Chains A and B, each alone.
Chain A
Amino acid sequence: MNGFDAYQLGRRGTTASWVLGGAFLILIGAFFRTQVLQHDKYALQAQTNRLRAIPIEPPRGEIVDRNGLLIAENAPGFSVKLLAPKADSLRAVLQRLSTIVPLDSFAIEESLRRFRGAPYQPVVVLGDADFAAVSRLEEHRAMLPGLIIQSEPKRLYPQGRAVAHLVGYVSEVTESDLSTNRFPNATLGSLVGKAGLEREYDSVLRGRAGVRYAEVNARGRLVREDVGSASLPAVAGRQIRTTIDLPLQRYIDSIWPAGVRGAMIAMTPSGEIRALYSAPTYDPNVFVGGIDAANWRLLNTDSARPMLNRAISGRYPPASPFKLAIGAMALRRGLINFDTHMPVPCTGVYRLGNRGFKCWKREGHGSLDLTGAVAKSCDVYFYQLGQRLGLEAIIQDGVLMGFRDRTGIDLPSELSPQFPANLDYFNRLYRGAGNWSAPATTLNFSIGQGENDQTLISMIQFYASLAGNGEEPIPYIVHPTGATRHSTGLSETQLAGMRRALIAVVEQGTAAASRHRDLLVAGKTGTAQNSHGKDHGWFIGFAPADHPQLVVGGIMEFAEHGTIVAPYVVNVLRRYILGPAEPSEPQIRVLTDEAVRGDSAPRPVQLPDSVPAARPTP
């Protein structure tokens, strides 16, 4: 025999049978898992093999002003998309398409890039095509396989530039937006709000995209454009009603001097924003259907920064309007009352040690009480008031009054003001207690200069509290958001005194030239020293002074003085309270060419020509 027995074969055969049996059992198990347990997943993928989802953009919710006037609406439009099996065939179709409608090589590359990112989705070629282009494309449909033309609602801002910083704009969601989940439920290709109210209330406005299905064959070629089954209608976004007064907003845009940068806000004492304007502005309609590269570059490289919302994101030294805050601090601490005179009368300069701190008026104001000092904006009075308070108290009370916090307005890009939290801030800033002078800093803070930069909305909030009951309202356009409430801590009589002082500013003080017989306006001018160029001008006022309905504040960069701004603010107040009947245009001219002798301004009162024009407004 061969030394190998059948029993050995038998044993090995049994082993082999077991191995084989086990192997087939494992196989059966694996098939069970794939076919029964994971069926849903694969069945879905089988569907996606055959069907391509084409998103249907929902109409975005309208934005209306408090009377129902349209700030943002939808207009009928067309989008041109392509469904392609491969990048090569997409490129070929795009080349052919570019002979029919204008399409530059950059747009072609962009479409290809999008395709590589999401090959199963139709690529948007033209986000906003006009009827003529669509007609031409339909004519040549035979040579454009995979062409999908959809009628889609397009965003339209009838007031365009006047409301840009208020409403913001919409644009396609980016991949980084999606990865950070900034826009819940958004998918590639969704239009989302990128700034302003569009951004803040995106979840309300956007609605939910619907979907319909197109059938493709194995090579990804479009077979049937509309597969009736399993399509999901789009859900329209909801309308939002704002507190905005659109005619007032347009009025501000119409009177704003061309080429001047700055911002203006109109707000009721309870915090309802009636108008919010920033200049230079831009046309939010250019973003609809995808902004082209040239426009985008222009908006982003312009040195005037038209995309910056100066009303809530621009920080300026608060200057003289801050003197009211200093006065309020001294009043609430009981250090003075409205009749208190300071020990040193104003001679145009205030001596501190061997340094002299000037008042804006070289000849001096003489001895003034608080009301007079506010009316004349006397620096020397407030130097001494600041010294009486002390820097620590100024910072403490400033923080309490909210000069360090965002107001909480329901707009996305509000910056918090810059205001020290405590004295340590200066030690850190100047690297040691010995490197800065507390008395000099105190004097600077007393007149709203120094390490203190406020946004316009923050100052408006403070003045609203003076116009109201001393509580600082949270500004809002649709809903107030939960921010900490601040209070000036003044009594009713003290508030009334403050308002009298502010009336005096307009009646006989620095803004006397803006005075009108038919409307009593209270307000405060300001000239913010600007190390980069000409000073910025402030004016914040409210009217009617005895029963305030509206607080309006404006800042104009390089305007040199608040008296330049005052007439604009006053006209806005008049327009809102007295109605549009009042002719406004000549009013401003009268105010600007007559030297405002009550205030400093030895310079000729005119708007500087040297201000770099952002974009000449027609």
Chain B
Amino acid sequence: MSLRRVRHPGELRWETRLLGVVTLTLLVLGLVTTYSATNVMQSRGHVVGLGFALKQVLGAMLGGAFLLIASRIDYYRWRQLAWPLLLVTVVLLLIPILPGTTAIAKPVNGARRWIDIGPINFQPSELARLVVVIWCAMLATKKGGKVREFRRGVLPFIVVLGGVSLLILLEPNLSMALLVALLGGIVLFAAGPRIGHFVLLSVVGALLAYNRIQGAAYRMARFNTYRNAEHATSDALYQIHNSLVGIGSGRIFGVGFGEGQQKLGYLPEATSDFLFSTIGEEWGFLGVCLIVGLYALFCWLGFRIAKTASDPFGQYLAVGLTATVGVTAFMHMAVTLGMMPTTGLTLPFMSYGRSSLVISLLGTGILINIGRLRGRLTAASERRKAAE
């Protein structure tokens, strides 16, 4: 008993195709917004706009290539690659933390999150986001029914997820650490451990996170901004306040594409962490509905693919990859509204930032592949059958 329904491959095409269309739409809208938000930005007296946009186009092309390749590689390969990928990720995560590596991992805004080797310049934690999902899906598949036990089922997940999160936390990058742990948890949840274990873990995780939040002063300031907006100092409020001002001045139709005022220096990170505020300002409530709708559609398609994937690994992987996009987008939007602490998460496919873009597109490629291989007698399912 494997699948609820077995359909003809042709029947399932529309989901993957629509997923591709949604992704492309978001990507194009993102490029346009990045251009509009950065073409007026100045750095040391020079307009930097086009440079930013071109870099982002390069990222999109690279990510697009990854997407195409990944959609044609049997996703079963990722299962085999899970452990090596995890090891590579851990090593990459270690580089910025270790002393003596400032040459290739310079601190930016007080945190060392980037590795910079010549032309390659990327954020290992973005990679970790994808790898953790693959690895969890792999382990959950391997454990099978044992995930319902604690020591042999859930504990290994905790050890590895905790370790990776800790490394990201040390950069420091609290929001990404939380996101990685959350995504791992979601994949685990899909694999069906006891709800009790899960609740317990969530509580422990929340407590640990709170403890860490208190540890860092700047995080505390951000956290307090959210918890207690009226009493926060104006400095801590500044970003959220200007984000809300931007969104609020958008009304239904927005102030018009490219007409936003907040990106003119009032709103820091208007193209990355607070991109959605720019969208809200320029495109208004209708634009917001459109984008939110596109992400919701993406998630709906992703979950459909997960439900109908041809094996548990595909199911778990699809759930994790979909959640990566959905949860990140949700958190980003919630942050721009001041509903969540300011975390510094980008909007998948749209925000400026090539690491995030490439990884998101790669993940989508894998998701498309899972969708494509449903119901087909593939090498993967043959192998699985053989194993049984």
Query: Is B306 close to A, CB under 8 A?
Result: yes
Residue interface mask B22-41, A partner, CB < 8 A = 1: 00000000000000000000
Q: How many Å from the CB of A115 to the closest CB on chain B?
A: 14
Q: B262, A46: Cβ atoms under 8 Å?
A: yes
How big is the B interface, by class? 35 or more
Residue interface mask B126-157, A partner, CB < 8 A = 1: 00000000000000010011011000000000
Q: A2, B261: Cβ atoms under 8 Å?
A: no
Q: A27, B292: Cβ atoms under 8 Å?
A: yes
Q: B296, A3: Cβ atoms under 8 Å?
A: no
Q: B299, A20: Cβ atoms under 8 Å?
A: yes
Query: Is B192 close to A, CB under 8 A?
Result: yes
Instruction: List A contacts of B265 (CB < 8 A).
Output: 217-219
Q: A39, B251: Cβ atoms under 8 Å?
A: yes
CA distance A6 to B309 in the complex (A): 10
Query: Is B365 close to A, CB under 8 A?
Result: no
Q: How many Å from the CB of A223 to the closest CB on chain B?
A: 11
Contact (A12, B190) CB under 8 Å given A17-B303, A35-B250, A218-B265: yes
Q: How many Å from the CB of A471 to the closest CB on chain B?
A: 58
Query: Is B87 close to A, CB under 8 A?
Result: no
CA distance A9 to B303 in the complex (A): 10
Q: A43, B249: Cβ atoms under 8 Å?
A: yes
Q: B307, A9: Cβ atoms under 8 Å?
A: yes
Residue interface mask B225-255, A partner, CB < 8 A = 1: 0000000000000000110111111111000
Query: Is B122 close to A, CB under 8 A?
Result: no
Query: Is A436 close to B, CB under 8 A?
Result: no
Query: Is A7 close to B, CB under 8 A?
Result: yes
Q: How many Å from the CB of B219 to the closest CB on chain A?
A: 23
Query: Is B109 close to A, CB under 8 A?
Result: no
Instruction: List B contacts of A4 (CB < 8 A).
Output: 144-145, 147, 191-192, 312
Instruction: List A contacts of B223 (CB < 8 A).
Output: none
Chain A residue at minimal CB-CB distance from B323: A16
Other-chain contact of B247, A1, A5, A17, A34 (Cβ < 8 Å): A34
Instruction: List B contacts of A28 (CB < 8 A).
Output: 288-289, 292
CA distance A21 to B2 in the complex (A): 27
Instruction: List B contacts of A31 (CB < 8 A).
Output: 247, 280, 285, 288-289, 292, 333, 337
Instruction: List B contacts of A30 (CB < 8 A).
Output: 334, 337, 339
Q: B4, A12: Cβ atoms under 8 Å?
A: no
CA distance A28 to B299 in the complex (A): 16
How big is the A interface, by class? 35 or more
Chain B residue at minimal CB-CB distance from A39: B251
CA distance A35 to B282 in the complex (A): 11
CA distance A23 to B292 in the complex (A): 11
Chain B residue at minimal CB-CB distance from A30: B337
Contact (A6, B300) CB under 8 Å given A28-B288, A46-B262: no
Q: B339, A34: Cβ atoms under 8 Å?
A: no
Other-chain contact of A36, B4, B251, B266, B303 (Cβ < 8 Å): B251
Q: B248, A2: Cβ atoms under 8 Å?
A: no
Query: Is B1 close to A, CB under 8 A?
Result: yes
Instruction: List A contacts of B1 (CB < 8 A).
Output: 1, 5-6
Q: B192, A42: Cβ atoms under 8 Å?
A: no
Q: A49, B4: Cβ atoms under 8 Å?
A: no
CA distance A36 to B292 in the complex (A): 17
Query: Is A24 close to B, CB under 8 A?
Result: yes
Instruction: List A contacts of B323 (CB < 8 A).
Output: 16
Q: A3, B144: Cβ atoms under 8 Å?
A: yes
Instruction: List A contacts of B257 (CB < 8 A).
Output: none
Q: B249, A13: Cβ atoms under 8 Å?
A: no
Q: A9, B251: Cβ atoms under 8 Å?
A: no
Instruction: List B contacts of A12 (CB < 8 A).
Output: 189-190, 192
Instruction: List B contacts of A50 (CB < 8 A).
Output: 261
Chain B residue at minimal CB-CB distance from A32: B285
CA distance A17 to B284 in the complex (A): 26
Q: How many Å from the CB of A116 to the closest CB on chain B?
A: 11
Query: Is A38 close to B, CB under 8 A?
Result: yes
Instruction: List B contacts of A174 (CB < 8 A).
Output: none
Other-chain contact of A27, B250, B312, B334 (Cβ < 8 Å): B334
> Could you give 20 example pairs across A and B, Cβ below 8 Å?
A2-B144, A4-B145, A5-B1, A8-B192, A10-B4, A13-B319, A16-B189, A17-B303, A20-B299, A27-B334, A31-B337, A34-B248, A35-B248, A35-B284, A35-B285, A39-B249, A42-B248, A217-B264, A217-B265, A218-B265
User: Could you tell me which A residues sit within 8 Å of B by CB distance?
Assistant: 1-10, 12-13, 16-17, 20-21, 23-24, 27-28, 30-32, 34-36, 38-39, 41-43, 45-46, 49-50, 217-219
5 closest Cβ contacts across the A-B interface? A42-B248, A218-B265, A3-B145, A2-B144, A46-B249
Given A3-B148, A9-B312, A27-B292; 16 other pairs, CB 8 A cutoff: A2-B141, A9-B307, A13-B190, A16-B186, A16-B189, A21-B296, A24-B330, A31-B285, A32-B285, A34-B248, A35-B285, A35-B288, A39-B249, A42-B245, A45-B241, A218-B266
User: Could you tell me which B residues sit within 8 Å of A by CB distance?
Assistant: 1-4, 141, 144-145, 147-148, 186, 189-192, 241-242, 244-252, 261-262, 264-266, 280, 284-285, 288-289, 292, 295-296, 299-300, 303, 306-307, 312, 315, 319, 323, 326, 330, 333-334, 337, 339
